[in-house]
Amino acid sequence: MTSETEHPAGHDQPRRRRKGRWLACGCALPVLLVLVLGAIGGWMLFTALSAKTALSSAASALAGAQSAILDGDVASAQVAVQEASQETAKAHRQTSDIVWRAVSAVPWLGSSPKAVMLSAEAADQVVSGALPQFVGAAQTLDVTTIKAGDGSVDLARFAPAATQLAGAEQSMLAARDTMAGVPTSGVPGFVSDGVGQLNDKIDEALTASGVASKLLAVLPGMLGQSGTKSYFVAFQSPVEIRGTGGFLGTFGLMTVQDGKLVSKEVESNTLLKNFPAPVLDLGPEYSQLYGQDPAEWVNMNLSPNFPFAGAQWAQAWKVQTGQQVAGVMGVDITALKYLIQATGPVTAPDGKVLTADNVIEYLGNDVYLEKENTDRKNYQADVATELIDRVLHLEGGTSALIQALTASVSGGHLQLWSADAAAQQAIAATPLAGQTPSVAGPYAQLVLNNGGGNKLDYYVARKVEYTGGQCSSNGTRKSSVKITLTNTAPNEAIGLGGSKPGLVNRVITYTHLPIGGGYTAARLNGNPIQPSSGMELQHPVAVMSVDIPQGASVVLEYDLQEPVSDGAPVVPVQPMVIPQETVVNWSGC
């Protein structure tokens, strides 16, 4: 028998109400939490997209400012930077508030917010900090301000420009440090893509500012700020190819003082006296590859490493004349084309007008059929000297000259060596040095030297294919280099032939291979061969002389074994009239 105890009416009502309130709260809290998190998530998504826009704006602003500066439109560059600065500053503010900082501190969950927050900060450092300094340096060096009334270059403006570039470099370094803290895992694709894009642009800008700063530091001295400077100018003709771009047909001596060209002389190479032995000892490896040939002026640039040529030409000039030049400049006919594009056509001594469209064909081919040896060399030198004179007088404007010089330097058509160690160190950091890189990693470089005493290299077409093969557990991998050389000479070129009959061209090939590697087999047109071997600047070099019949191709192949490397393949290109076709097939091990 059971009994029930009755409670007074209404005694349990408060408990039920409290329970109801707890149930209501329990249902409301998840909803409230969802709403709060949704609001935070929505805000973060909105600001993340704003940060993505900022990243794109920063990268675009870098490219846009560079383009405007090269076009000579500094005012447009300033406007573009100001507009981008407003966007990046806004994105930086939006992604650095308390919500972003709190969420970015949460492990894993905070990877993406932290990446966006730091990227927006770096973007603002680039656009608001570095770019105004870059634009300011461009304005300081504009032709309207740097060119003095007497036609000289105002060397006093180089120091302020260098200071502005140094400031830009500091902002870029700060941005790179900021980007170094960006997480790499747990980050959405659109964020990581923006981060990678900005990182690439920062690295490019740092490289450019570093090179420019170094050059601005030494250029006043090179242009005669502290005394007269004379330079030997080698006009290299690619119709008879040499390692640095062509044989020395004519030369000039140019003297500058206080930023002004004060004298120039142009002569044929017939005035240059050859020597019984090379004028400089560049080591046993150099001697093994080139023997006694560099005792002649026209063979002092057989190596593709321009510092070797510059040092020998300077020493040879000193031995012959007693004069120590401050440096050596190498110029070829493709550089003349770019300079004509920048400064306008040149009227040659015979009244012929040379334009960017006809200068390579005329100076590289037609003039050899029309003029005798000495007349031809003087003709070429007069044209080249006129164009260099224009550059030193800043004709054509800063932007056009920068574009012409950039194209000339990047293609190896304009090279410079300085006898001053500090200046040469600055030059060596740029393509202007024409210096062979001595860096480990995948590497293949084809270098040709004329072996037929002819002028047919104007018609040589080249294709270089560099292919990575199987990787081994011993730290090496197989690879291959395939070289195709084609003689495109027409019948009308018969007057350009040399020691070989008809229009057969002979070239000596020097194939520079990866440091620590070498070839295991070689073939010419499919037949096994045994090339000569040597070393240059740590690179193994395979040497083979080949004859190329008119209208035909020859194929030279090397099977290689080289160290495994994470580095990207490097395939330097020798400057010639017909551009080299380069094909790289490569993947990591």
Residue 46 has pLDDT above 70, yes or no: no
**pLDDT score for 24:** 43
**pLDDT score for 49:** 58
Average pLDDT over residues 313-341: 95
The answer to which of 31-35, 129-133, 416-420 has the lowest mean pLDDT is 31-35
Q: Which residue has the higher pLDDT, 361 or 195?
A: 361
Residue 16 has pLDDT above 70, yes or no: no
Encode 199-222: b = buried (16+ Cβ within 10 Å), e = exposed: bebbeebbebbbbbbbbbbbbbbb
**pLDDT score for 9:** 46
**pLDDT score for 500:** 67
Share of the chain above pLDDT 90, in %: 46
The distance in angstroms from the start CA to the end CA of the chain is 87
When pLDDT is cut at 50, 70 and 90, the band that residue 104 belongs to is low
Report the C-alpha gap between 413 and 171 in whole angstroms.
33
**pLDDT score for 552:** 97
pLDDT digits (tens, 9 = 90+) for 354-404: 999 999 999 888 888 787 777 777 787 788 878 888 887 788 877 788 788
pLDDT digits (tens, 9 = 90+) for 139-148: 888 877 888 7
**pLDDT score for 188:** 65
Residue 6 has pLDDT above 70, yes or no: no
When pLDDT is cut at 50, 70 and 90, the band that residue 506 belongs to is very high
Return the structure tokens found at 462: 């080249």
**pLDDT score for 175:** 87
Residue 312 has pLDDT above 60, yes or no: yes
pLDDT digits (tens, 9 = 90+) for 256-271: 999 888 888 888 888 9
**pLDDT score for 209:** 76
**pLDDT score for 359:** 92
Residue 183 has pLDDT above 80, yes or no: no
When pLDDT is cut at 50, 70 and 90, the band that residue 508 belongs to is very high
The answer to which of 48-62, 195-209, 233-247, 365-379 has the lowest mean pLDDT is 48-62
pLDDT digits (tens, 9 = 90+) for 429-438: 889 999 999 9
List beta partners, residue 254. Answer: 231, 264
Q: Which residue has the higher pLDDT, 53 or 560?
A: 560
Share of the chain above pLDDT 70, in %: 82
* 129, amino acid identity: G
**pLDDT score for 39:** 44
Q: Which residue has the higher pLDDT, 51 or 179?
A: 179
The full set of domain ranges for the chain reads: 29-222, 229-433, 445-585
**pLDDT score for 26:** 46
Q: Which residue has the higher pLDDT, 325 or 134?
A: 325
**pLDDT score for 2:** 44
For the chain, the average pLDDT equals 84
List beta partners, residue 255. Answer: 230, 263
When pLDDT is cut at 50, 70 and 90, the band that residue 535 belongs to is very high
When pLDDT is cut at 50, 70 and 90, the band that residue 107 belongs to is low
Contacts of 301 (CB under 8 A, 6+ apart): 234, 236, 242, 243, 244, 245, 247, 248, 308, 309, 312, 313, 330
Average pLDDT over residues 498-512: 87
Residue 32 has pLDDT above 50, yes or no: no
For residue 182, the number of C-alpha atoms closer than 13 Å in the C-beta half-sphere is: 27
When pLDDT is cut at 50, 70 and 90, the band that residue 105 belongs to is low
Output the CA torsion sign for 160, 161, 164, 169: negative
pLDDT digits (tens, 9 = 90+) for 456-467: 999 999 999 999
With contact defined as beta carbons under 8 Å apart, do 132 and 81 qualify?
A: yes
Residue 50 has pLDDT above 70, yes or no: no
Return the structure tokens found at 27: 């249902």
Residue 319 has pLDDT above 80, yes or no: yes
Report the C-alpha gap between 443 and 437 in whole angstroms.
10
- What is 229-433's CATH number? 3.40.630
Q: Which residue has the higher pLDDT, 30 or 87?
A: 87
**pLDDT score for 134:** 84
Report the C-alpha gap between 60 and 151 in whole angstroms.
36
Cα–Cα distances in Å, from 286 out to 129, 402, 534?
48, 35, 9
Instruction: Please determine, looking at this structure, whether the domain spanning 445-585 carries the CATH number 2.60.40.
Output: yes
**pLDDT score for 149:** 75
Report the C-alpha gap between 532 and 285 in whole angstroms.
13
Residue 182 has pLDDT above 70, yes or no: yes
The answer to which of 84-98, 274-288, 345-359 has the lowest mean pLDDT is 84-98
Average pLDDT over residues 84-99: 71
> What 3-state DSSP class applies to 120?
helix
Report the C-alpha gap between 48 and 41 in whole angstroms.
10
Return the structure tokens found at 29: 């809290």
When pLDDT is cut at 50, 70 and 90, the band that residue 543 belongs to is very high
